[in-house]
Chains A and B, each alone.
Chain A
Amino acid sequence: MMLEMSGIQKSFGPVQVLKNMQLRILPGEIHALVGENGAGKSTLMKILGGVIPKDAGEIYIDGKPVEINKVRDAEKIGIAIIHQELSIIPDMTIAENIFLGNELKTSLGLVDEKRMNQQVEEVLSKLGLTINPKERCRNLGVGQLQLVEIAKALIHKAQLIVMDEPTSALTDHEIERLFGIIRSLKQEGVSFVYISHRLEELFSICDRLTVLRDGEYIGSANIGDLSFNQVISMMVGREIGDRFPKKTNHPGEVVLEVQHLSRAKAFKDISFTLRKGEILGIAGLMGAGRTELVRSLFGAEPADSGEIKLKGKAVSIQSPADAMKLGFGLVTEDRKLEGLFLDFKLDFNIMAANFEHLSKHGVLQNRRITPYVQNLIQSLRVKTPSMYETAKNLSGGNQQKVVVAKWLGRNPEILILDEPTRGVDVGAKREIYEIMNELASKGVSIIMVSSELPEIVGMSDRVLVLRLGHQAGILESEISQESIMALAAGV
């Protein structure tokens, strides 16, 4: 199927989010759609999927104009959209989810579970997935759910599948399998639109790409004709220089010593040290126990055994409040679920971890709060109309800065950042790296968990690598993607 969108316009209130947008997808190609957050990728895909109406423009399928006014229209044409937040109902079975709203009926008009399960089983085995269609989706991993969504698209005979950040929660192994499936479907003539912030991935799987910036079409090209830096400069409209800023920190004496730390079913016997002003990377595959380890350090789920020494003194961390008193801060992996109060204003979000310093006898002191919040917003360069903006209206990068600001206000000695740049666009990523470097040179010790190897390599002074909950090793020098992967995969 060949898709052409041209002259697409869309405004939300006074804000024009798509200006004269165009997109051409050839039959059987994997097409990358790239741009910073807010560039208009999601809006364009929502229009294609019939989720929201366009203000102007045309959509052609194989040269013929089509009208897509609702989701069902897009489905009939053969367009399937797999959103970043998967639309799966956890307590229904795989087959029930796939046929939701399109249930097969028996001659009596009852739901024909047998035929549904049969069809789903066929498609799943084609995708190399050997799970029972009657399995409840609650029991599946994110990678498997992604494949369930693809199975759903195939059952509805989709010819064009849009995938929005499909790999953000997948392990490397699962990504490999997903790519294998995408490539084989492509052989059968299925086209893909592939949206991802991970440029490495685009280069490994996509044929062509289209770049958007600020709601405008910037250009399309064969991906093989472009370099990494060319794509980035098309996205941000300027050269941003190196991806990682120059490091300026000088690690000093040891501040944190972790010895034989263990927590049941999470991690076992982890020992490492952290120096003043050091950035310690924690790498590993999905399920290696990285997030679990840092959450235990912060007291979110306390460790069962082992010792934590702070400046030579043994300490007990049983709750986040304990950790905070000792000078820890934690920027969590999932900022929307665990870091932010999305429906609350920025000032609340920024002072949430520091009420005691902003109050007197339990009463909040507005005189202290306003300059406190303003300072943090300015020093982290949070782009917001005001400190009273609702957190959910900010872009991913700015939301992340707000979470960092919440901790910086406490002047932490040890700041733990779990996936600090997940879902953050290229420009804001660089700013977050700069903030980390600045903090480290001021003597803040940083622990950074990341799934992006270039980030680990580019930012860390040393790297702790975990594998299946165990300590695979600590890299002090010759930190490279290869040396980390070798430890993480246990080769």
Chain B
Amino acid sequence: MKKIEIKIPQQYGSLIGLLLLGALLSILSPSFLSLSNLMNVLNQVSLNGLVAIGMTFVILSGGIDLSVGSVLAFSGAVLAALLKTGLPDMLAIVLALALGTLMGLVNGAFISRFNLQPFIVSMAFMTMYRGATFVFTQGRPITGLGDTGVFVASGRGDVLGIPWSGIVLLAAFFITAFVLDKTVFGKGIYAIGGNAEAARLSGLPVKRLRASVYAISGFFAALASVILTSRLDSAQPLAGQGYELDAIAAVVLGGTSLAGGRGFMVGTIIGAFIIGVLNNGLNLLEVSSFYQQIVKGAVILLAVLLDRRK
């Protein structure tokens, strides 16, 4: 008997998974393919998608960032507090983004400067930043943030029916995919994930690159916090809990290697959509949220199993 071998480049493997999932859901639920539901999915995916974009930089470099959920919560709380002082919303957003970037940079600086394990360091910052959020908010939501302007549009507005959050996500995707694929900076990130010592001996600024991926991760966590805070019209001290795991799941579903050096941004976006479509589909089918978790875990397990053959 002749063995038939089907080779699918890794980016397309996850795309096929997404299409199959979509096809299945459109059969099971007539409302799945409706325009309003698809835009709803896009809106839902944008948060995890943005965090996962930042996480992709970190994982490609051979690291991991568990602090993103806490960065999101803290920068969201600061954003809300700034808005309450009456600061112009654009300025408040820029400050929140800068804060998130700085928080990521501090995390990354410890990892690269002292050559520490990213898992442990980012877990320490996850805990500290969450604690800082509780201190800052005194454990209570910050509400009543206003109802006009860029801030409100980011989480609730749309253009021709396409949610702003989705547009932000797609723009972020195109920019970061370009950066990873076409710039010296992007190649440097692949290089340190592939072989950090060879990268160092090729004259690449390994320490700076390593610190910068965490800054990028912090930036995207803060960007997600703007959308979330706007959508909820409040900052919650518990916001973003567990987001780091969803983001890692999206990156891995997209075929990026947790060992670093191998993967693509397009995979991450597809991975985020797989998770988003799955959540949406299970909701449409009125599957209890208890079962949803089991299904989500099983899908991740299946994806990793399929990925193993490479």
Chain B interface SS verdict (over half): helix
Q: Count the A residues whose beta carbon is within 8 Å of the partner chain — how many?
A: 27
Which A338-385 residues have C-beta < 8 A from chain B?
Answer: 338-344, 348, 352-353, 355-356, 359, 362-364
| B194 x A343 contact (CB < 8 A) | yes
Q: Is A332 part of the binding interface, using a Cβ–Cβ cutoff of 8 Å?
A: yes
| A321 x B201 contact (CB < 8 A) | no
Chain A residues contacting B262 (CB-CB under 8 Å) are 343
Instruction: Type the 1/0 row for A45-87, where 1 means its CB is closer than 8 Å to any CB of B.
Output: 0000000000000000000000000000000000000000000
Instruction: Type the 1/0 row for A306-339, where 1 means its CB is closer than 8 Å to any CB of B.
Output: 0000000000000111011000001010000111
Instruction: Type the 1/0 row for B181-215, where 1 means its CB is closer than 8 Å to any CB of A.
Output: 01111011011001101111111110000000000
**How far apart are B84's CB and chain A's nearest CB, in angstroms?**
39
In the docked arrangement, what's the CA distance between A140 and B262, Å? 34
Chain A residues contacting B203 (CB-CB under 8 Å) are 319-321, 323-324, 353
Whether A344 touches B183, Cβ cut-off 8 Å, given contacts A320-B201, A338-B201, is no
In the docked arrangement, what's the CA distance between A257 and B193, Å? 36
| A344 x B190 contact (CB < 8 A) | yes
In the docked arrangement, what's the CA distance between A341 and B202, Å? 11
Chain B residues contacting A320 (CB-CB under 8 Å) are 200-203
Q: Is A300 part of the binding interface, using a Cβ–Cβ cutoff of 8 Å?
A: yes
Q: Is A401 part of the binding interface, using a Cβ–Cβ cutoff of 8 Å?
A: no
Q: Is A467 part of the binding interface, using a Cβ–Cβ cutoff of 8 Å?
A: no
Chain A residues contacting B184 (CB-CB under 8 Å) are 355-356, 359, 362-364
Chain B residues contacting A342 (CB-CB under 8 Å) are 194-195
Chain A interface SS verdict (over half): mixed
Tell me which of B187, B194, B195 contacts A355 (CB under 8 A): B187
Q: Is A213 part of the binding interface, using a Cβ–Cβ cutoff of 8 Å?
A: no
In the docked arrangement, what's the CA distance between A302 and B187, Å? 26
Most buried by B among A340, A355, A362: A355
| B261 x A332 contact (CB < 8 A) | no
In the docked arrangement, what's the CA distance between A323 and B200, Å? 12
Chain A residues contacting B185 (CB-CB under 8 Å) are 362
Chain B residues contacting A319 (CB-CB under 8 Å) are 203
| A338 x B183 contact (CB < 8 A) | no
**How far apart are A420's CB and chain B's nearest CB, in angstroms?**
15
| A348 x B187 contact (CB < 8 A) | yes
Q: Is A275 part of the binding interface, using a Cβ–Cβ cutoff of 8 Å?
A: no
| A330 x B182 contact (CB < 8 A) | no
**How far apart are B221's CB and chain A's nearest CB, in angstroms?**
24
| A341 x B201 contact (CB < 8 A) | no
Chain A residues contacting B182 (CB-CB under 8 Å) are 363-364
In the docked arrangement, what's the CA distance between A352 and B202, Å? 6
Q: Is A406 part of the binding interface, using a Cβ–Cβ cutoff of 8 Å?
A: yes
Whether A340 touches B198, Cβ cut-off 8 Å, given contacts A355-B188, A363-B183, is yes
**How far apart are A66's CB and chain B's nearest CB, in angstroms?**
29
Q: Count the B residues whose beta carbon is within 8 Å of the partner chain — how many?
A: 21
Chain A residues contacting B197 (CB-CB under 8 Å) are 337-338
In the docked arrangement, what's the CA distance between A343 and B261, Å? 8
Whether A332 touches B195, Cβ cut-off 8 Å, given contacts A356-B184, A362-B184, A364-B182, is no
| A300 x B200 contact (CB < 8 A) | yes
Most buried by A among B184, B197, B203: B203
Instruction: Type the 1/0 row for A278-311, where 1 means its CB is closer than 8 Å to any CB of B.
Output: 0000000000000000000010100000000000
In the docked arrangement, what's the CA distance between A356 and B187, Å? 11
Chain B residues contacting A362 (CB-CB under 8 Å) are 183-185
**How far apart are A167's CB and chain B's nearest CB, in angstroms?**
25
Tell me which of B183, B201, B202, B205 contacts A359 (CB under 8 A): B183
**Please, which residue of chain A has its CB at the minimum distance from the CB of B261?**
A343
**How far apart are B115's CB and chain A's nearest CB, in angstroms?**
15
In the docked arrangement, what's the CA distance between A353 and B204, Å? 8
Whether A332 touches B183, Cβ cut-off 8 Å, given contacts A344-B190, A344-B261, is no
**How far apart are A338's CB and chain B's nearest CB, in angstroms?**
5
Chain B residues contacting A355 (CB-CB under 8 Å) are 184, 187-188, 204
| A352 x B183 contact (CB < 8 A) | no
In the docked arrangement, what's the CA distance between A449 and B182, Å? 37
In the docked arrangement, what's the CA distance between A343 and B257, Å? 12
Whether A406 touches B183, Cβ cut-off 8 Å, given contacts A341-B195, A343-B194, A344-B261, is no
| B202 x A353 contact (CB < 8 A) | yes
Tell me which of A298, A338, A339, A341 contacts B261 (CB under 8 A): A341
**How far apart are B309's CB and chain A's nearest CB, in angstroms?**
15
Whether A406 touches B261, Cβ cut-off 8 Å, given contacts A337-B197, A359-B183, is no
In the docked arrangement, what's the CA distance between A321 and B205, Å? 8
| B200 x A406 contact (CB < 8 A) | no
In the docked arrangement, what's the CA distance between A330 and B190, Å? 21
Tell me which of A330, A348, A363 contacts B201 (CB under 8 A): A330
Chain B residues contacting A352 (CB-CB under 8 Å) are 187, 191, 198-199, 202, 204
Whether A341 touches B205, Cβ cut-off 8 Å, given contacts A362-B183, A362-B184, A362-B185, is no
Chain B residues contacting A337 (CB-CB under 8 Å) are 195, 197-198
In the docked arrangement, what's the CA distance between A328 and B198, Å? 16
In the docked arrangement, what's the CA distance between A321 and B204, Å? 7
**How far apart are B257's CB and chain A's nearest CB, in angstroms?**
9
Chain A residues contacting B200 (CB-CB under 8 Å) are 300, 320
Chain B residues contacting A323 (CB-CB under 8 Å) are 203
**How far apart are B174's CB and chain A's nearest CB, in angstroms?**
14
In the docked arrangement, what's the CA distance between A120 and B75, Å? 60
- Interface residue ranges, A against B (CB under 8 Å): 298, 300, 319-321, 323-324, 330, 332, 337-344, 348, 352-353, 355-356, 359, 362-364, 406
Contacts A340-B198, A342-B194, A342-B195 known; list 14 others, CB within 8 Å.
A320-B202, A324-B203, A338-B195, A341-B199, A344-B194, A348-B190, A348-B191, A352-B204, A353-B202, A355-B188, A359-B184, A362-B183, A364-B182, A364-B184
Q: Nearest 7 pairs between A and B by C-beta?
A: A353-B202, A341-B194, A355-B184, A321-B203, A324-B203, A352-B202, A320-B203
- Supply 10 A–B pairs (Cβ within 8 Å), ascending by A: A319-B203, A323-B203, A337-B197, A341-B194, A341-B195, A341-B261, A348-B190, A352-B187, A359-B184, A363-B183
